[in-house]
């Protein structure tokens, strides 16, 4: 039976790489898929991985109708054996409903890839709807790591290396941005709560002690004899 599968994880855990791998494996078996994306780091109409892989895709902008697009494509004699939707966290809930309808009414597998929560640890509306509707939710097993070495579970937005917790939910950026640009960093829950990024942790390590402790000279103290 066709399925709606949601592959979720933090940034930098290989979601887009897996999407490209699924496309490669299925196309190598003679199947033809339709790839959609939204606000990819490589630009409009692209699905890209941080490993340097990139392929063309249909840009699913605001108001895009997945079901209508695929029905029109198939009605004109086009072929589609499966659907890949990357950056699915940016999609509107009604667009996720359309993807579910593609599975149920057109009998196509849909593989959606996205981040579950934003930089404030709040669910993206698209991801929330996917969790509600998906036949399966798969958490990627390639673990991204916090700067401390622990498993990264949260996405942090940074400006100048400093974590920020206010602003629009969607601001396109990437990990390893220049220090003066808006960027993102994956953190463990402990350091996300403390708003401690790699840059602020280094700054704290290099700063002098706030309360220096002086070692008292005990040579002049009277001795205590039993």
Q: Give catalytic residues, as residue numbers.
A: 87
> Taking the alpha carbons of 104, 108, 109, 111 in that order, is the dihedral positive or negative?
negative
Classify residue 205 as exposed, middle or buried by CB count within 10 Å of its CB (0-12, 13-18, 19+): exposed
First to last CA, the chain: 87
62-94 burial: b if 16+ Cβ within 10 Å, else e: eebebbebbeeeeeeeeebebbbbbbbbbbbbe
CA distance 198 to 162: 9
Sheet of 154-159: strand order equals 162-164, 154-159, 182-187
- List the structure tokens of 50: 């941080």
CA distance 89 to 196: 25
């Amino acid at each position: 039976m066709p399925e709606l599968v949601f592959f979720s994880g933090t940034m930098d855990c290989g979601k887009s790489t897996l999407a490209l791998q699924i496309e490669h494996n299925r196309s190598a078996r003679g199947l033809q898929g339709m790839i959609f994306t939204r606000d990819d780091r490589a630009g409009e109409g692209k699905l890209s991985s941080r490993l340097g892989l990139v392929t063309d895709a249909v840009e699913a902008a605001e108001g895009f109708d997945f079901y209508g697009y695929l029905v029109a494509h198939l009605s004109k004699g086009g072929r589609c054996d499966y659907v890949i939707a990357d950056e699915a966290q940016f999609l509107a809930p009604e667009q996720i409903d359309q993807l579910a309808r593609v599975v149920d009414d057109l009998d196509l597998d849909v593989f959606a890839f996205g981040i579950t929560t934003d930089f404030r640890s709040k669910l993206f509306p698209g991801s929330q709807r996917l969790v509600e509707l998906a036949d399966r939710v798969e958490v990627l097993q390639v673990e991204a790591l916090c700067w401390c070495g622990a498993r990264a579970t949260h996405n942090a937005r940074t400006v100048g290396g400093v974590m920020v917790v206010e602003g629009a939910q969607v601001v396109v950026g990437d990990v390893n941005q220049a220090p003066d640009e808006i960027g993102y960093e994956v953190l463990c829950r402990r350091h996300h709560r403390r708003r401690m990024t790699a840059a602020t942790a280094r700054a704290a390590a290099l700063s002098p002690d706030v309360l220096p402790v002086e070692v008292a000279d005990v040579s002049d103290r009277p001795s205590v004899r039993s």
